[in-house]
Structures are given as structure tokens and as C-alpha cells.
Amino acid sequence: MKSYLKSLPIHQHFIGGFRWSKFTPLISGVLVASALTLAAAQAQETEPNNACSTPQDLGAVALPTIVSGSLDSTLTTLDIDFFRIEASPGQSIRVDFEGQSTDSGSLAEPLLGLFDSGCSLLAIDVYGGVGANARLSFVVPAAGAFVLGATAYPDYSFIGGGVGTYRLTVTPLPTIDSIAGRLVDDMTGLGLPGTDVPYSSVQLLRCNEEGCYEFVNYQQADTDGRFLLDSDQSGNPITVGTYQLFAYAQGYEYFFSEPFEVFEGEARDLGDLRLVPLQLIGSISGRLVDAIDGRPLSGYSPPYPYLYLQRCEEFGCYVVASSSPDDLGRFRFDGVLYLLSPGTYQVIAFAEDYRESRSASIEVGAFKHVGIGDLPITPFPIQFGAVQGCEILVGGGLCEYGIEVLKRGPGHYKGAAWSAVEFYPAPSYRVTRFQVGRNGASHPAPLKLNLKQGQREMLTFQLEVPASVPDGSFLCATAAVGSDPSPQFDSQGDRYVFCASVQSGGFEVLSGNEGRKRLRELRKQEREAGADRPR
């Protein structure tokens, strides 16, 4: 088959919302060619009809209608035939353009075009689609008229050039009302929602002598697994024929119905279509809580906890799912959502200012729901709190900033705190990193900490910013805490404090989220630049 259009999925092409398909639907009630020839009205092509704007006007012909004609191109004169036909808006029509390959004339390579009444090209087909003829199926436009262009390959511009006789057959296509049904779980009989897990959906496929491959339409099931298909994907009525339904739901085996025939005007209800569930677990659930005071940790506010689910095999464990707890600290790993097969699992929890926490091993069987109760996560003894920013005037100056720390849990805490600064000078953004303390970068000694339970302290750091910092540069600071006797080797966590950009000689402090995002981007840029530098 020859065509200037690129192939779309399931052998369909669209121009202006109309569908072109290379396959023939099995249409019930459509007469075979010999009988159709006897029953159809006859018309003869007459010249002049070489322009879409001045076609041969067949008017409101009785359907089916057969038009006999010929293309008589010469070396000096190109011939093409245009026909205008009136029909009811919304009526489904099929046009076959046949020549030599189907013993319907001597034209070797028929090419058929569909135009609206204003001569805008809507669809095109070329010989080889069905039985080596050209075929188009479409819905009559709202204007109640359409124009057919009869030419030969490779005349995609519709200027003419073919030689030979042909037969053009215009046939009404009977349509159905709808195809409906409901997707259900084979074990429980409950409907499978398309709006939530398992996100069930259906595809309607039209069948022909080569199989059921032509895509007609797609639909997501409703909350009870129900669907109703009453048009193709272009909004056209569905024609009478033989169809197959493909259904998909996450966590279930693929479902293909047996091919079924639908008749004119029929509203076919396929009833419950039972999908077989895969052998998956039901769920693993629990609640994330603070190990000291037992309060649930919300995933939507500090300390922003996050959870990973690991599957453990003989060779080790690997992450298979991740999630944040809800505002009450509850979490749930759904077996269908994450396609979790029976086996051994472990939940890992992280949060700012908290140590990593791991559950015990969890054995889960097929379709089983396991609740592990409260999963405690232990906070670091030092918790970061409110940030105190600084303002740098035009021309540079002193930036004094700070961050609050809180001693959690019993006993005293002895350790140290310090701040690290990352400077990204424009335009290279090659980072310079250095430490500052209470008395700036020249005396960057860590601040000593000696806190009792519940005690808060504001840690302050000084940074002298010179006036020579170029516009477009970025300055970002973080704070870290460590425990004695070796604070730098016994970290109790670190925290982003602020990022500022130099604009017109002054510093503009970025918002928290914007600053964190910019710092991540700068670090990524620096890593990528470092990878490209010669060693």
C-alpha cells in the first residue's frame, strides 16, 4: 500500500477528525458485491468535473449508488473527477473506489479523497487497503454534503494524472446504538473502578478477516466498573460489525472477550466481564510515630517523613515502593497498586532530624492484608527549629544568621555546631566551600553545645560579604550538629538555613522552597561541570 501519511496505531489515519482504516469491518447485512451491483442506483461520470469547486453534482442520490467513470489523462492534459453528494448529516457512509485489481475497471492504482463542501481535505486512502481498492468510511458533515475526489497514485495533491476506467460505490453503513458492560473481580464479583485502583479500562477492537486489530475506542470504567461505548474515538457512530473487547485493570490478568456481532440499532450489554486477579498481596499498613512522645508524624509538615518498602530475597533486599504517611501518620502499601507478589517485606522510615527506622521482616501471603501497628522512629537528640535570616545592604557587609536547636529526650547533650557556606560566583558558578562560626570565617571554630532536656538555643553565625561579589552570584548556608567527643565524626544531622542571590550589588534572600531548589540545581550543575573538567 502506498500513502504519504505516516502510519498511526492500529492502521488508522486522521485528517480533520475523520478516520482512515486499511482494514474492512465485517458488516452484517451489507450485500456482497454482485448483489449490491444489482440493487444499487447507477450513475455515469460526466465532464467537466476536474475541480473540487466545480464537481459533478449528483445531489441527494439514493444509496447505495454506483458511479462508473474513467480517467483520461494525456501527456498534456491531466484528468481527475470530483463528485458532490448530499446526504443526512451524521449518517455513516462507506465509499469504495475500485479499478483493475478487483476487475472493476482498468485503473491500476486508485486514490480516493474526501472533502467537505468547502473543498477542505478530510481524509484520503489509496489502493491496497481492502482487496486492492481504496476505501473510506466516515460520517456525513453537518452541512449535509461532501465531495469525493477520484484520482490515481501518486496524485496526493489532487491535480489529476490517472488513466483507466473505475467504479465508485457509495454505500450507507448501518450503525449500532452502543456496547456496554461491567468489569468485575472474578473472586469477589465486585466492580473494578476505573477512577481508583485498579484503574480499569476497556478498548473496543473491530474484527475482519485478518483478526481483531482495528482500534475503535477506549474508555475508563466508572466507580463501579461500568462502561458504555456509543461512538468511535472520533465521535462517529459505531458501525454494525463484529467486535472484540480488551479489558485492563492493574493487578489483573489481561481480558479478551470472544468476538461478538452487533446488529443495526442494537444496544448490546455484555454483562459482567470477570477479570482474574493476579497472585498479589492485599496490603501492608501501619502508623509512623515519634519514638519518644508517641505522636503520629504527618507526611505533610515537618519533619516530612517518608517510607520505603523493601522486598527481601535470598540475595538481599531491594526497594519496591515508596510513600508518605497521611496527616495522622498512617501508611499503606497496596498490593495491586504496587504489584506486590507474596513474600518477605520490610518498611524503612526516614524523617528530618530522625534516625532511620526499620520494621521487622513481614511475611505476606496472596490476597492477605497485614497491619504492623505503630512504627516508632527515633529523633536525633538535637532538633533544628526556626531560622533567623540576615539582610545585606548594597555594597556588602555583615550577615548574621542563625538557627534554633532543641534538646529532645532525657539527659544532657554535649557537642558542637557549625555552619558551612557554599559560594557560587557568576558566571562560572564554580563553588567555593568554607566554614564559619560565631565570629565569621576568620575564626570558624564550632559552637559548643551543652543542653539539658527541653532546652532551646539560637545558634548564630557571622559572615562578612565583600562588595566585590558579582551580580548573579549565589550564597547558601547550612548548619550541622555533632556529638562529643568527635562532633564532626558523629553527626546528629544538618539543615538548610538560607540561599541569597546578588542583584544590583545587594543580596536578595530566596524563600525556603525556592532556595532549596536553587541549591540542588547549583550542586547538580557543579557536579556535571566537574565531570567534564580535564584531570
Instruction: Place 443 in a pLDDT band, splitting at 50, 70 and 90.
Output: confident
Based on the fold, state whether residues 27 and 151 are members of the same structural domain: yes
Q: Provide mean pLDDT across the span 219-240.
A: 92
Based on the fold, state whether residues 271 and 202 are members of the same structural domain: yes
Q: Provide mean pLDDT across the span 157-162.
A: 94
| pLDDT of 8 over the 50 cut | no
Q: Give the pLDDT score at 396.
A: 75
Rounded Cα distance, 158 and 150, in Å:
8
Domain end call among 148, 172, 196: 172
Based on the fold, state whether residues 368 and 290 are members of the same structural domain: yes
Per-position b or e across 404-414, b if 16+ CB within 10 A of its CB: ebbbbbeeebe
Based on the fold, state whether residues 391 and 506 are members of the same structural domain: yes
Instruction: Place 137 in a pLDDT band, splitting at 50, 70 and 90.
Output: confident
Rounded Cα distance, 28 and 26, in Å:
6
Q: Provide mean pLDDT across the span 170-189.
A: 95
Q: Give the pLDDT score at 31.
A: 37
| pLDDT of 454 over the 80 cut | yes
Q: Residue 110 in contact with residue 130, Cβ under 8 Å? A: no
Q: Provide mean pLDDT across the span 402-407.
A: 92
Based on the fold, state whether residues 419 and 513 are members of the same structural domain: yes
Q: Which of 207-216, 280-289, 399-408 has the highest mean pLDDT?
A: 280-289
Based on the fold, state whether residues 373 and 409 are members of the same structural domain: no
Based on the fold, state whether residues 358 and 404 are members of the same structural domain: no
More confident residue, 396 or 482: 482
Task: Note every long-range contact of 495-499, with CB atoms under 8 Å and residues 24 or more positions apart, other chains counting.
Answer: 495/352, 495/353, 495/384, 495/403, 497/387, 497/389, 497/401, 497/403, 497/419, 498/387, 498/389, 498/390, 498/401, 499/474, 499/475
Q: Is residue 344 part of a domain?
A: yes
Q: Which three cell numbers stand for residue 374?
A: 505503630
Residue 302's domain is classified under what CATH number?
2.60.40.10
C-alpha pair distances (Å), 97 with each of 32, 39, 54, 330, 523: 15, 18, 20, 65, 64
Q: Is residue 4 part of a domain?
A: no
Q: Read off φ and ψ for residue 8, nearest 5 degrees.
A: -100, 165
Q: Please give the angle made by the CA atoms of 62, 63 and 67, to the nearest 5 degrees.
A: 90
Q: Provide mean pLDDT across the span 224-234.
A: 93
Rounded Cα distance, 316 and 312, in Å:
6
Q: Provide mean pLDDT across the span 172-195.
A: 95
Instruction: Count CB neighbours of 311 within 10 A.
Output: 17
Q: Would you give the DSSP letter of residue 225?
A: S
Q: Which three cell numbers stand for residue 237?
A: 457512530
Q: Provide mean pLDDT across the span 331-352.
A: 95
Q: Give the pLDDT score at 18.
A: 36
Q: Provide mean pLDDT across the span 231-259.
A: 93
| pLDDT of 24 over the 80 cut | no
Q: Provide mean pLDDT across the span 89-107.
A: 92
Based on the fold, state whether residues 403 and 337 are members of the same structural domain: no
Q: Is residue 19 part of a domain?
A: yes
Cα 260 versus chain centre, distance: 31
Residue 388's domain is classified under what CATH number?
2.60.40.3880
Based on the fold, state whether residues 205 and 261 are members of the same structural domain: yes
Q: Give the pLDDT score at 511.
A: 85
Lowest mean pLDDT segment, chosen from 156-165, 448-457, 494-503: 494-503
Q: Residue 126 in contact with residue 134, Cβ under 8 Å? A: yes
C-alpha pair distances (Å), 386 with each of 403, 477, 512: 6, 14, 12
Q: Is residue 2 part of a domain?
A: no
SS (H, E, C) 301-337: CCCCCEEEEEEEECCEEEEEEEECCCCCCEEEEEHHH
| pLDDT of 301 over the 50 cut | yes
Residue at grid coordinates 492484608: 369
Q: What share of the chain is helix, strand, coil (3-state, %, to 5)?
A: 5, 50, 45
Residues above pLDDT 90, as percent of the chain: 65
Q: Give the pLDDT score at 9.
A: 30
Q: Is residue 7 part of a domain?
A: no
Q: How many domains does the chain have?
A: 4
Lowest mean pLDDT segment, chosen from 81-85, 283-287, 310-314, 524-528: 524-528
Q: Give the pLDDT score at 367.
A: 93
Rounded Cα distance, 521 and 191, in Å:
46
Q: Is residue 6 part of a domain?
A: no
User: Which residue range(s) make up the domain with 355?
Assistant: 283-377
Lowest mean pLDDT segment, chosen from 116-130, 363-377, 384-398, 465-479: 384-398
Q: Provide mean pLDDT across the span 36-53.
A: 84
**What is residue 104's three-state secondary structure?**
coil
| pLDDT of 22 over the 90 cut | no
Q: Provide mean pLDDT across the span 418-433.
A: 91
Q: DSSP assignment of 398-426, as one string?
A: EEEEEEEEEE-SSS-EEEEEEEEEEEE-T
Domain end call among 346, 377, 408: 377
Based on the fold, state whether residues 354 and 260 are members of the same structural domain: no
Instruction: Place 535 in a pLDDT band, splitting at 50, 70 and 90.
Output: low
Residues 6+ apart with CB under 8 A from 51: 82
The amino acid that residue 52 corresponds to is: C
Domain end call among 377, 392, 423: 377
**What is residue 6's three-state secondary structure?**
coil
Q: Which three cell numbers stand for residue 248?
A: 485492563
Residue 265's domain is classified under what CATH number?
2.60.40.180
| pLDDT of 3 over the 60 cut | no
Residues 6+ apart with CB under 8 A from 360: 346, 372
Based on the fold, state whether residues 143 and 34 are members of the same structural domain: yes
Based on the fold, state whether residues 362 and 448 are members of the same structural domain: no
Which secondary-structure segment (H or E) carries 261? strand 260-262
Q: Would you give the DSSP letter of residue 252?
A: B
Residue 122's domain is classified under what CATH number?
2.60.120.380
The amino acid that residue 123 corresponds to is: A
Q: Is 158 left (phi over 0), alpha (psi -120 to 50) or beta?
A: left
Handedness of CA 516, 520, 521, 526 (dihedral sign): positive
Q: Please give the angle made by the CA atoms of 194, 200 and 206, to the nearest 5 degrees.
A: 120
Lowest mean pLDDT segment, chosen from 122-131, 179-188, 224-233, 446-455: 122-131
| pLDDT of 430 over the 50 cut | yes
